[in-house]
Structure 1
Amino acid sequence: MRTYYLYKFHFYGALHIGPDDGRNVLQSSGILLHSDTLFSALCIEALRDETARNSLLEEAKAGRFLLSDAFPYRADELFLPKPLIRTEQGLRQMQDPGQRKLFKKLTYLPASLWDAYLDLWREGRPFDAAACLQQLENLSFLDERACAAVRGKEETDPYLVRGLQFNKDCGLYCILAFDDDRVRSLVEGLLQSLSFSGVGGKRSVGFGKFQLECCGELAQSACEAARVLGTYLSGEPAAHWMTLNTSLPAEDELEEAMEHAEYSLCRRGGFVHGMGYKKRTVYAFASGSCFSKRFTGQVRNVAPEGRQPALRMLKPMFLGVDV
């Protein structure tokens, strides 16, 4: 039986996450940590133990554990990606241009307002987008740091790195799903190790280190937002299924998955850790994409041909959306 667990990342300092488009990598930073990036970081931690690494890859390919993107939180409030779904009832509430602009700015929804937002699309009930945007304010602030590249030159090349610092009681959380406690023990151990190494970019200058908080099973959490979230992940029949992570159907699933789908794509690239060559670029479904049918997804080798394999985990974690 699949069980869902909540983990919070309390960052000690700045976090740097490069943009999806690959431009201005050092001079900008996002707040979303993609699930495939987190999986790659776990694989790097597992390199110290070949048995652990082989086990992690085997469990991932078999789909015996899943992980969400890492989304922001404030205290007990968890933020979810805005579902890409539209109905005539909801669109009638957005005839005012000002209202449409507010909804366009929405990227995340507080879990406490999830049902209210769905009621907009189910029944056309008013939704206060301005109040929702207000809750998203002041989660983090910009951190700019001057660095210098030496690389054997007589003179150093200065450059600027931008990251994010989270405000008090704010950070990122992710959800992990396990089929048994053996897999959970393996992944939690790697997460603990990762907290010392850090996630994201520019870890060599101290970015990305965090304290890991294991918040337990969603269904039994003391946090009301987590318990509510657990009910939507229970696998009960739903009209639509929203991805909570970066995912891509296998080739034989793609046509069926695209039927009646509302989605956005994100570019996934980057370098293979410690190898100095680029991964093959993949365009995957971003979290918040909605589908009428669930799919299994894939773990894809994105290393150039003839190189040591580099795996990108693109198996979806679905949240039921009844609209």
Structure 2
Amino acid sequence: MKYRLYKLQFLSPIHFGSDTVGTSLEEADLICHSDTFFSALCSEYIKLNGYKTLDDIEFKKLFDNNDLLISSLFPYKNNSFYIPRPMIISEKNTSDNNTDNSEKDKKHDRKAMKKISYIQISHIQNYLKGVKNNDNSFLDFLENIKELEDYNNFAKYSLIQKVGLRNNDEKNALYDVGAYYFNVGCGLYFILGYKSDSNLKLFESVLESLKYSGIGGKRTSGYGLFEYKVEEDINMFEFENKNESNYKMLLSLYSPFDDSKEDKLCELSNIDFNKSYYSLIKRNGFIYSPIHGKNLIKRKSLSMFKEGSCFYVKDDIKGYVLNVNNKDIQGNVYRYGKALCIYINF
């Protein structure tokens, strides 16, 4: 598998729905999860090629067969790339006679870590070393990078007022949309894994079209338009297990099983959960596809492992592209649950 990184420079504001269930359009997130990005790519492919469904077509099969892999979209600033903070937590050494103070220190360390959402890839080894050793300098390290990893370092959040046009006999409705405007030199990036140049060429043809359609919400208002630049020298990401580590960290959402199959394919046995650190996220929402037009159809919800989860793996993990048809939908509907990971030394 070969890898390259794509830096997206946005030409308009972006709106990605918040992870919090039941939030309104006023809430927005800075990043784009891999399943959302996959849906945008597939919708663009259908629009370009005139297909009515993704079933049995080349583009989806490339992801099914692990010929193409994508990460979620994370922030960058100039040439500094940020990843989710690894979910590995510090275990304070309690050999100290003052156990109460040790417990307080442990809670303080964890609170400091939780304030950091993203961390520069160049800081990752110092961070993991600090978590493992948990010496006095680790808290200072957390305090020093806390200000650097704040959302405001990348973009400014704004509420934009919109007008919902009604029929002639109804009053127009005002509503607010939460959006991010990126600072100069900032944007989002993603990583692509590919096995052949022909696969790469097909992917980039879809991405080239997608930049004019946009990603995220409110695209009809011009949101989410972008230009992109390719970075091929990304040695700071450890895709190969050079240090014989058992820990893999997710850079995408991941589903280890597919219950839509008769044999209910499962990779849970490949992970030692007693030594793993992870978080789950519930994914739901509505379907946007050229096939279904403007009809709002709710897709089946499911829980997935979140980016930043760190698994102690006994065997390889790959994930699945899941069928989330809720039986009220014509044709199959898919959610991306493939694992794009890096190895971490811990």
TM-score computed with the length of structure 1 as normaliser: 0.90
Contact 1:278–1:303 (8 Å) recurs in 2: no
Contact 2:117–2:149 (8 Å) recurs in 1: no
Whether 1:187 and 2:203 are equivalent positions in the alignment is: yes
Contact 1:89–1:122 (8 Å) recurs in 2: no
Instruction: Note closer, same or farther for the CA distance 1:25–1:212 as it changes in structure 2 (3 Å cut).
Output: farther
Q: Which amino acid aligns with 1:240?
A: Y
Instruction: Note closer, same or farther for the CA distance 1:63–1:73 as it changes in structure 2 (3 Å cut).
Output: same
From 285, 292, 300, the equivalent of 2:312 is 292
CA distance in 1, matches of 2:325, 2:106: 48
Aligned pairs for 1:245-260 (under 5 A) are 245-250=252-257, 251-257=265-271, 259-260=273-274
Partner in structure 2 of residue 309 of structure 1: 332
Instruction: Note closer, same or farther for the CA distance 1:235–1:189 as it changes in structure 2 (3 Å cut).
Output: farther
Q: Which amino acid aligns with 1:29?
A: A
Whether 1:281 and 2:281 are equivalent positions in the alignment is: no
SS in 2 for 1:58: helix
Whether 1:143 and 2:158 are equivalent positions in the alignment is: yes
Partner in structure 2 of residue 49 of structure 1: 49
From 212, 235, 239, the equivalent of 1:233 is 239
Instruction: Note closer, same or farther for the CA distance 1:41–1:239 as it changes in structure 2 (3 Å cut).
Output: same
More displaced stretch, 11-20 vs 128-137? 128-137
Partner in structure 2 of residue 243 of structure 1: 250
CA distance in 2, matches of 1:135, 1:94: 25
Contact 1:301–1:309 (8 Å) recurs in 2: yes
Aligned pairs for 1:167-186 (under 5 A) are 167-186=183-202
CA distance in 2, matches of 1:157, 1:84: 42
CA distance in 2, matches of 1:93, 1:121: 15
Instruction: Note closer, same or farther for the CA distance 1:312–1:96 as it changes in structure 2 (3 Å cut).
Output: closer
CA distance in 2, matches of 1:39, 1:94: 43
CA apart distance, 1:130: 1.7
CA apart distance, 1:90: 7.8
Whether 1:72 and 2:75 are equivalent positions in the alignment is: yes
Aligned pairs for 1:16-35 (under 5 A) are 16-35=15-34
SS in 1 for 2:192: strand
CA apart distance, 1:258: 5.5
More displaced stretch, 49-58 vs 107-116? 49-58
CA apart distance, 1:123: 2.9
Contact 1:18–1:26 (8 Å) recurs in 2: yes
Whether 1:84 and 2:101 are equivalent positions in the alignment is: no
Richer in strand (by share): 2
SS in 1 for 2:297: coil
- What RMSD over aligned residues (CA atoms) do the two structures have, in Å? 2.2
Deviation string 1:97-145 (CA, Å, 9 cap, x unpaired) is 5544321201111112111101113333433112212212421111221
Q: Which runs of 5+ in 2 are unaligned?
A: 95-101, 258-264
CA distance in 2, matches of 1:311, 1:151: 33
Deviation string 1:289-316 (CA, Å, 9 cap, x unpaired) is 1111131211111122252211111010
Q: Which runs of 5+ in 1 are unaligned?
A: none
More displaced stretch, 189-198 vs 35-44? 189-198
From 272, 275, 281, the equivalent of 1:266 is 281
Q: Which amino acid aligns with 1:322?
A: N
CA distance in 1, matches of 2:107, 2:270: 35
More displaced stretch, 71-80 vs 258-267? 258-267
Contact 1:67–1:174 (8 Å) recurs in 2: yes
Contact 2:64–2:321 (8 Å) recurs in 1: yes
Identity level (%): 29
Contact 1:31–1:164 (8 Å) recurs in 2: yes
From 63, 67, 85, the equivalent of 1:60 is 63
More displaced stretch, 279-288 vs 77-86? 77-86
Q: Which amino acid aligns with 1:65?
A: L
CA apart distance, 1:7: 0.2
Richer in helix (by share): 1
Instruction: Note closer, same or farther for the CA distance 1:76–1:317 as it changes in structure 2 (3 Å cut).
Output: same
CA distance in 1, matches of 2:60, 2:50: 11
Q: Which amino acid aligns with 1:253?
A: E
Aligned residue pairs, count: 312
Aligned pairs for 1:118-137 (under 5 A) are 118-125=128-135, 126-127=137-138, 128-137=141-150
- The higher radius of gyration belongs to 2
Deviation string 1:29-63 (CA, Å, 9 cap, x unpaired) is 11121001001000010012157962110101111
Contact 2:87–2:309 (8 Å) recurs in 1: yes
